[in-house]
């Protein structure tokens, strides 16, 4: 069994071994610590010259990495908590994402900014957020979210070695400890990888009748959604299919549309706060695409900061029961 953490860590080792252009940059990333979530473990021992521990300067390090990327390196920046991305917002939105286009495509910026997002650990309002919603739809920025499905390390490897435009790579903290789930290993589910550079996954319960609704999710919420789909089938005899995204922005909606054309019912599930979140775009685009027969809802965090206290945090963030409730409402 490989955990998501191990998969990402191994992938970074592979990337650095494969190309000496790859640099790893972040706060407290040196061994033996290897970064706050240990994703960098072993890197500085294996590649001492190419792992740079930095001052606590999120804007500065993203900007510096952008400069490195322009000049031929392939830097990976680790932002210790995704909550701190706000500090690098200008460098991401007004610099990294614009430089290629502004230069009439002569400058390329193969920059990867990796960061853990998400709650569930009682870290409180400034260390638990899923702030990717504020970066979605930034022209020139690709946003990718790791999942436990398939091969998160391979996803990261593609981003690091093959991309030539800036990527924000989101990793939910609660994924790290989960086992990686190869597509053929997921009990009771038939999983298809829809052909695309950044895969979209289609999950359906084995031998189920026609699904009544479609769920869309990414990252850790895809895990919760999958469990909800299972319980819906067994406890409520409501059958749903699921689309899991890895590329959030820009996105390939075709697999979702395929499914929704059949089900006419769509639920998006995300951990960020509801309003103006990821699901809004998914609903809007689906509506524009398939027209006036769609029924849809979104499930997300309550529109408030995330409390440290367990019972409060549990109430604020979406959970399996809430997904099931939303599905039942939608299916009825």
Partner 1 sequence: MKASSTEAADLYRQMLRIRRFEEAILEAFPRGLIFGTTHTYIGQEANAVGVLSQRQNEDIVISNHRCHGHFLASGGSMSALAAEMMGRSTGVCAGRGGSQHLHWDNFFSSGILGGTLPLAVGMAFAQKAQQSGQIVFAFTGDGALGEGVVYESLNMASLWTCPVLFVLENNRYAQTTPVEVNLAGGIGERFRSFGIPTDEQDTTDVAKIEACARSAVDHVRNGKGPYALIIHTYRFAPHSRGDDMRDPAEIERFRQRDPLKIQATSLKKSVLAQLDVEVRTEVEDAFNQAETASMADPASLTYPIDLIR
Ligand X SMILES: Cc1ncc(C[n+]2csc(CCOP(=O)(O)OP(=O)(O)O)c2C)c(N)n1
The residues that touch ligand X, with contacts defined as CB under 6 A, are 27, 56, 58, 80, 84, 87
Q: Strand pairing of 213-218 and 247-249? A: unpaired
How many chain residues interact with partner 1 (CB under 8 A)?
Answer: 82
Q: Which is nearer to ligand X, 84 or 251 (CB)?
A: 84
**Alpha-carbon gap, residue 223 to 244, rounded angstroms:** 10
Choosing from 177, 182, 250, 310, the residue that interacts with a copy of itself (CB under 8 A) is: 250
Is residue 172 annotated as part of the catalytic site, yes or no? no
What's the closest the beta carbon of residue 86 comes to ligand X, in angstroms? 9
Residues from 225 through 264 that contact partner 1 (CB under 8 A): 250-254
Catalytic residue from among 13, 127, 134, 172 = 127
Contacts of the segment 228-232: beta carbons below 8 A, 24+ positions apart: 228/320, 228/323, 228/324, 228/327, 229/203, 229/205, 230/188, 230/189, 230/205, 231/320, 231/324, 232/324, 232/327, 232/328
142 binds partner 1 (CB under 8 A): yes
Distance separating alpha carbons of residues 248 and 37, to the nearest angstrom: 23
95 vs 285: CA distance, rounded Å = 28
Of 22, 72, 81, 82, whose CA–CA distance to 52 is shortest?
A: 22
Taking CB under 8 A as the criterion, the residue among 94, 185, 206, 293 binding partner 1 is: 94
Give the residue from 301, 297, 302, 303 showing the smallest Cα distance to 327.
Answer: 297
Report the nearest approach of a copy of itself to the CB of residue 238 (Å): 18
- The item of ligand X, partner 1, a copy of itself, none sharing an interface with residue 61, based on CB under 5 to 8 Å by kind, is partner 1
Cβ 39 to ligand X, closest distance in Å? Answer: 15
CB of 270 to partner 1, least distance (A): 18
Query: Catalytic residue positions?
Result: 127
**Binding-site ranges for a copy of itself (CB under 8 A):** 83-84, 86-87, 89-90, 92-94, 98, 101-102, 125-126, 131, 133-140, 249-250, 264, 273-281, 283-285, 287-288, 291-298, 303-305
């Amino acid at each position: 069994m490989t955990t998501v953490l191990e998969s990402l860590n191994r992938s970074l080792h592979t990337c650095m071994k494969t190309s000496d252009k790859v640099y790893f940059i972040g706060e407290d990333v040196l061994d033996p610590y290897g970064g706050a979530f240990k994703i960098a473990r072993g890197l500085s021992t294996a590649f001492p010259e190419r792992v740079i521990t930095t001052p606590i300067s999120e804007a500065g390090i993203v900007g510096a990495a952008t400069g490195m990327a322009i000049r031929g390196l392939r830097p990976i920046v680790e932002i210790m908590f995704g909550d701190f991305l706000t500090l690098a917002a200008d460098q991401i939105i007004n610099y990294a994402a614009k430089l290629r286009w502004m230069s009439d495509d002569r400058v390329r910026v193969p920059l990867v900014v990796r960061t853990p997002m998400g709650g569930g650990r009682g870290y409180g309002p400034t260390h638990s957020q899923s702030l990717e919603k504020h970066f979605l739809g930034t022209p020139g920025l690709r946003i990718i979210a790791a999942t436990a499905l398939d091969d998160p390390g391979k996803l990261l490897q593609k981003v690091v070695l093959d991309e030539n435009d800036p990527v924000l790579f989101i990793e939910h903290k609660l994924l790290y400890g989960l086992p990686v789930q190869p597509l053929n290993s997921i009990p009771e589910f038939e999983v298809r990888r829809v052909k695309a550079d950044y895969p979209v996954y289609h999950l359906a319960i084995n031998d189920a009748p026609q699904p009544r609704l479609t769920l869309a999710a990414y990252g850790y919420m895809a895990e919760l959604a999958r469990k909800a789909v299972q319980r819906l089938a067994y406890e409520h005899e409501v059958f749903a299919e699921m689309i899991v995204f890895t590329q959030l922005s820009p996105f390939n909606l075709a697999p979702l549309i395929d499914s929704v054309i059949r089900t006419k019912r769509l639920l998006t599930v995300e951990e960020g706060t509801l309003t103006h979140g990821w699901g809004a775009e998914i609903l809007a685009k689906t509506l524009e695409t398939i027209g006036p027969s769609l029924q849809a809802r979104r499930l997300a965090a309550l529109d408030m900061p995330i409390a440290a206290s367990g019972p409060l945090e549990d109430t604020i963030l979406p959970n399996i029961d809430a997904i099931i409730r939303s599905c039942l409402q939608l299916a009825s």
